[in-house]
């Protein structure tokens, strides 16, 4: 083989080596960039996890400060343990026992849901003495006055239903 053939072959090999070297260099640079981006992503995910832990703690703190409802949300409404504590504190049962007989002339022949509606309306206008008692109880138990009124409404409704020999329908 002639010497000039060797020069062409060496030139081709040199071009291939330069191309392979360039490709290797670019690939190495690209992998370094990917590794750098991956590390950045890992740091960001770690920060997000920390933020989620903080948020969960804040939510638990907020929920622990909330008072339970005084009345269950199912139908018909019933006092919860917290509602029973309020009822005892404001002596709702003795109030209802004394009041219910005098209301019977207005409630003859009414259905339990009508009696419930009557009681809701009735506790909205109890007068200044009860308004003060409701406000005080609301302050002491840390709930809205409407929660105290709902306790009175349930206790009064139950007393009236007991007198007329009816019971509200219970959900299964």
Give tens-digit pLDDT for 106-144.
877 788 888 899 999 999 988 899 999 999 999 988 888
Last residue of a domain, one of 17, 36, 66: 66
Q: Which of 127, 128, 147 is nearest to 137 (CA)?
A: 147
Q: Which of 68, 75, 73, 122 is nearest to 95 (CA)?
A: 122
Same domain? 94 vs 59? no
* Domain-located, residue 73: no
Q: Quick one: pLDDT band at residue 172, thresholds 50, 70, 90?
A: very low
* Domain-located, residue 137: yes
* Domain-located, residue 110: yes
User: How far, in Å, CA of 89 to CA of 54, rounded?
Assistant: 38
Give residue 106's domain range. 81-164
* Domain-located, residue 172: no
- Over range 86-109, report the average pLDDT: 87
What pLDDT is recorded for position 54? 81
From residue 11, alpha-carbon distances to 1, 4, 16, 17 in Å are: 16, 11, 9, 10
* Domain-located, residue 119: yes
* Domain-located, residue 71: no
Same domain? 152 vs 97? yes
* Domain-located, residue 147: yes
């Amino acid at each position: 083989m002639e010497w000039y053939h060797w020069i062409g072959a060496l030139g081709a090999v040199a071009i291939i080596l330069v191309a392979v070297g360039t490709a290797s260099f670019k690939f190495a640079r690209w992998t370094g960039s990917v590794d750098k981006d991956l590390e950045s992503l890992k740091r960001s995910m770690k920060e997000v996890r920390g933020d989620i832990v903080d948020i969960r703690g804040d939510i638990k703190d907020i929920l622990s400060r909330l008072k339970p409802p005084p009345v269950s949300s199912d139908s018909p409404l019933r006092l919860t343990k917290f509602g029973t504590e309020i009822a005892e504190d404001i002596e709702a049962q003795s109030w209802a026992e004394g009041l219910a007989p005098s209301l019977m002339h207005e409630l003859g022949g009414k259905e339990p849901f009508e009696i419930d509606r009557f009681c809701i309306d009735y506790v909205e206008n109890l007068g200044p003495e009860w308004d003060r008692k409701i406000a005080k109880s609301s302050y002491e138990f840390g709930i809205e006055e409407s929660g105290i009124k709902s306790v009175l409404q349930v206790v009064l409704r139950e007393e009236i239903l007991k007198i007329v020999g009816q019971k509200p329908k219970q959900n299964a």
